[in-house]
Amino acid sequence: MIDRFEVGDLQGPIFNIDEDTDVEYDAIFIGGGAGGRFGSAYLKARGGRQLTIDRWPFLGGSCPHQACVPHHLFSEAARELDLARTLSGQLFYPEFDESRASILDLVNLFKSGRNSAHAFMNWQSKEQLGMEYILNASATVIDSHTVEVAGRRFTAKNLVLATGSSTVLLDLPGIDLPGVFDYATIIEDLDYDPKSCVIIGGSKVAIEYGSFFQAAGCQTTILTRSPLMATKSLHHVDEDVRQYVVKGMRDRGMSILEGAQPIAVIGTDRVTGVTARLADGSTVDIPCDMVFMGTGERANSSHFVEVLGVEVDDRGSVIVDDHMRTSVPNVYAVGDLIGAPMEMFKARKCGVTAARNIMGEDHSFDFTEYPDFLHSTYEVTWVGLSEVEARAKFDEVIVIQMPPPGVPHGDIPLPCAEGTMMLAFTYPEKTGFQKAIFDAKSRKLVGIHHVGFGAKDSFQYLDYLIHRTEGLSIDQLAEMNELFLNSGHFIQLSRLRAGAMELSSL
């Protein structure tokens, strides 16, 4: 059905509601993405009655449609392409064939498969979670208890606003030219294989999409006003990690212009370049056939400000308390709509928090600390403090690091593990980087950072462990049973130091 809606064979709203029950809804969720769907499912599980409305013909929202899922496909493609190019003509690797590395092929591959995930989420929500929903229809709020959708009005004790966010397009001359894309339009509209690209922005989207474009043979320039990966929107980024990641991107041929600001997108019928002011004040024209915007997201909040008068901050994000309550009684807001961090865990747990409070629990959600990640050609993961932050906070800090400071990476093929074994024996300096930071007095782990592959899972649990009141000590790390050879060498490395009364770096 979703395929048929997409091509226009089917039209109109999809109703999956219980017409026989006239019990008032406990909550109407406007938006059925990560926040809306998880909140709805939780509220239903608690015995409440929910209605979820989405303008798309499926539940699940932007993550599986245009954001996280294609980003992961592209990042995996980047890793495969980079490895194939690095080892081209060696061992069993054929000579790398640039003509077969295509951005368009990957976009089309994603588009041809994404509806399966969407269909699964509709099925799961209906058959396994018992949710009521209306899809393929926009919701209009009438007041804080009433929503109009597909010509019908529905009432609820509470509203949960969950309409997500959209890319901030800079106000630049030429920004409307064909050839300017963001993460959403590249999926929907790309119809050629770009050969050269300028990316504006210096955070996750810029690094992830830029790394993919470059790996697919599209010469990529990143224009970033802050140092790459040192944007305010990313916290706890360790400087050594950042430098390893950025150097790797440069080594793979990307041009990274820090302290640079775009002035105009150039072109008559379509994009032919970008004019930028560089850090030294000079102005350059950078030729390209694609411009890609990685300039952040802004909340889709204007309708709620207009109709309900919900309070928003200077970026338009809806202001909520730690129960997800807005300034309007009985109106909650969740997910990207309430601002940073714009991550799935936060959107889903915000939805659940709203549901729990609506169902009578006094539940708060604090998302000031969380594990984080991004992809270059590597998976980069971190949680807790950077080394600089740790040294500012604690008197005695020790660092367990691989490779250790002062040892040339070319001389030591570590940290090698999943995804870097082939590199360890060919290009040791490409095996990644990792460090664990301890407060030497309490012996507790206060920050941990990894560049490589396959460590994301362990970082979820590390985040949980280090943020418990009792924390996680080097001695407890040393007690763990490692599945050697593994991406985080932290357990066995901690064991080498844990015997000492006075800890020292390694």
Ligand X SMILES: Cc1cc2nc3c(=O)[nH]c(=O)nc-3n(C[C@H](O)[C@H](O)[C@H](O)COP(=O)(O)OP(=O)(O)OC[C@H]3O[C@@H](n4cnc5c(N)ncnc54)[C@H](O)[C@@H]3O)c2cc1C
Residue 326 Cβ vs ligand NAP, minimum distance, rounded to whole Å: 20
Q: State which residue, 373 or 427, has the beta carbon closest to ligand NAP.
A: 373
Per CB under 6 A, 468 contacts ligand NAP: no
Buried b (16+ CB within 10 A) or exposed e, 140-172: ebeebbebebbeeebebebbbbbbbbebbeeeb
Q: Is 488 exposed, middle or buried (0-12, 13-18, 19+ CB in 10 A)?
A: buried
Catalytic option among 10, 15, 68, 323: 68
Contact 161, 334 (CB under 8 A): yes
Per CB under 6 A, 221 contacts ligand NAP: no
Per CB under 6 A, 224 contacts ligand NAP: yes
Per CB under 6 A, 232 contacts ligand NAP: yes
Per CB under 6 A, 220 contacts ligand NAP: no
Q: Is 235 a catalytic residue?
A: no
| Footprint of ligand NAP on 36-75 (CB under 6 A) | 71
Catalytic option among 5, 51, 58, 59: 59
Q: Which does 31 bind (CB under 5 to 8 A by kind): ligand X, ligand NAP, none?
A: ligand X
Q: Is 92 a catalytic residue?
A: no
d(CA 36, CA 334): 8
Q: Is 72 a catalytic residue?
A: no
Distances, alpha carbon 98 to alpha carbons 103, 215, 216, in Å: 11, 10, 8
Q: Which of 64, 164, 202, 432 binds ligand NAP (CB under 6 A)?
A: 202
Listed ranges 87-95, 282-290, 338-346, 414-422: which one lies at the site for ligand NAP (CB under 6 A)? 338-346
Report which secondary-structure segment, H or E, holds 149: strand 146-149
Per CB under 6 A, 296 contacts ligand NAP: yes
Per CB under 6 A, 233 contacts ligand NAP: yes
Contacts for 465 with CB less than 8 Å, ≥ 6 apart: 471, 472
Per CB under 6 A, 456 contacts ligand NAP: no
d(CA 321, CA 12): 37
Per-residue mark of binding to ligand X, 321-360 (x: CB under 6 A):
--------------xxx----xxx--x-------------
Contacts for 248 with CB less than 8 Å, ≥ 6 apart: 376, 377, 378, 430
d(CA 503, CA 491): 15
Helices 34-45, 344-358: crossing angle, 10 deg rounding: 40
Listed ranges 91-99, 128-136, 224-232, 346-354: which one lies at the site for ligand NAP (CB under 6 A)? 224-232
Q: Is 63 a catalytic residue?
A: yes
d(CA 236, CA 380): 12
Q: Is 405 exposed, middle or buried (0-12, 13-18, 19+ CB in 10 A)?
A: exposed
Q: Which does 231 bind (CB under 5 to 8 A by kind): ligand NAP, ligand X, none?
A: ligand NAP
Q: State which residue, 273 or 294, has the beta carbon closest to ligand NAP.
A: 294
Residue 18 Cβ vs ligand NAP, minimum distance, rounded to whole Å: 36
Q: Is 484 a catalytic residue?
A: yes
| Footprint of ligand X on 137-176 (CB under 6 A) | 138-139, 162-164
d(CA 223, CA 274): 10
Q: Which of 297, 379, 389, 439 binds ligand NAP (CB under 6 A)?
A: 297
Q: Is 216 exposed, middle or buried (0-12, 13-18, 19+ CB in 10 A)?
A: buried
Listed ranges 36-44, 85-93, 118-126, 229-237: which one lies at the site for ligand NAP (CB under 6 A)? 229-237
Contacts for 207 with CB less than 8 Å, ≥ 6 apart: 222, 228, 229, 245, 249, 374, 375, 376
Catalytic option among 43, 63, 81, 106: 63
Contact 325, 332 (CB under 8 A): yes
Q: Which of 205, 241, 308, 397 binds ligand X (CB under 6 A)?
A: 205
- Residue ranges binding ligand X (CB under 6 A): 30-36, 53-56, 61-63, 67-68, 71, 138-139, 162-164, 183, 205, 300, 335-337, 342-344, 347
Catalytic residue set: 59, 63, 68, 118, 484
- Residue ranges binding ligand NAP (CB under 6 A): 71, 170, 201-206, 208, 224-226, 231-233, 261, 294-297, 340-343, 373-374
